[in-house]
Structure 1
Amino acid sequence: MQRLADLAEGLGGAKVVRFAFTEQGTPSLREALFELVDENARRVILVPLMLPMEPSFHNWLTKTLKRWRAHDTRCWPAIAIAASPTASAVMTRMLEDLVETAEGLDLTPAGRAPIEGSLVPAQKRRVLVCQGGPCNSAGADAIWGHLRNQQERQKLRVAGDGTMTAKSTCLGPCNLAPVLQVFPEGTYYGGVTEEAVDRIIAEHLLGGTVVEDLAYHPTGRKQRLRHLTE
């Protein structure tokens, strides 16, 4: 990624070129963008380098950026988003170049592989991040990426009770998107932001206490996000 950033240096008059990840990886897009805001950047062009790119990616990213901006009082730069790599006129040439680098593979059957066992992890907690349509539209991928980055930084696999994180299909309460659920309690958290993830990690996963002002418990009645009804 750094090599790609180096290759892009100076393109379009860019003074600073940095790479970031929208999902899992360091630095996250949020971290990199906030650094540019701190540095008083006047214009930022986001160039997504991902294949395949979901048709809804631009809408999702726009909504996520709006959410970040709404909670930030600093002066933000103008932001533009480039099209998918497949929209580039030089894509065909790039594929030709890659084809020319092809090398043959040795597919001779190897000897019998040793039979190995697997270690069953001592994990008592599991965090599910909903990947249903409404949650994805509300920025679930950004939440997932932030959770995974924080998991690595705080070593949640060995801290507290041991934690596994995973994406899931629809968790149910779509109007509370984005939704995250923590087991073994089965606690639902709705309207989750990066700041909410930080609190859930510190108070619930590591501290063992449900974050009540972010949690939504089964009541038998329909519920709305609290910040929309207050």
Structure 2
Amino acid sequence: MTQPGTALLLVGMSVSDVDRRDELLAAAARHHAGVAFLQMGDPSISRELTRLADAGATTISLAGISLGPLAPGQSWLRRIASHWWRERAGHRPVIEVATRLASTIEEIEVALFDLRPISGAEPGLTSTAWEDVTRHRRQVLICRGPRCTARGSDETARALILGLMEAGLGDHDVLVTHTGCQFPCNQAPVVSVQPDDVWYGGVDPHAARRIVSDHLLADTPVESRRLPR
């Protein structure tokens, strides 16, 4: 249980954690905590830190949790918290960050045993490595709208990304982007490949693997899943 003047935030780290908001909210209620998201979800970490600081919190603890695959590293929690702390005008609370990510609801308790304060000198949000647009030949857009999510686009994304990794294709070959609704919702899960202007529907994990092997590697669209344009 948190003490007076302290606050705890459980932070969903992966895109899939946004889809499992209800589980995070239930876990947060048991720990008398709030919930924020690193990416694709609302509220953001910065927004919640501002809300809690404005409410008078003197210490805010952050515990990252990744119930889905392919979450960014734990260091991103420290980067974002430190950036917020440096930019904060007025009262700045102590920010503590768990040193490990929880990969299950049950691991949250363990993660909370080791909290370390930020110094404000952590690396920022920019880097020379992130200055330029990648030289990718194609961009794959994976719909994460409500219908596609309900029909399993998280597993679609996982299969596609793992397929690219196994094929040795990185961001400079194929840039994968999670999007909001791409509209042909009856065809969920929807994936589109640009600049080819090829749209796919009903992309389950098996179809995602075929998109990698046939379209992205062999330049042959998967006609059985292709949507008319």
The structure that is strand-richer by fraction is 2
TM-score w.r.t. the length of structure 1 is 0.49
TM-score w.r.t. the length of structure 2 is 0.49
Point out which structure has higher relative CO (alpha carbons under 8 A, 6+ apart): 1
Higher-Rg structure is 1
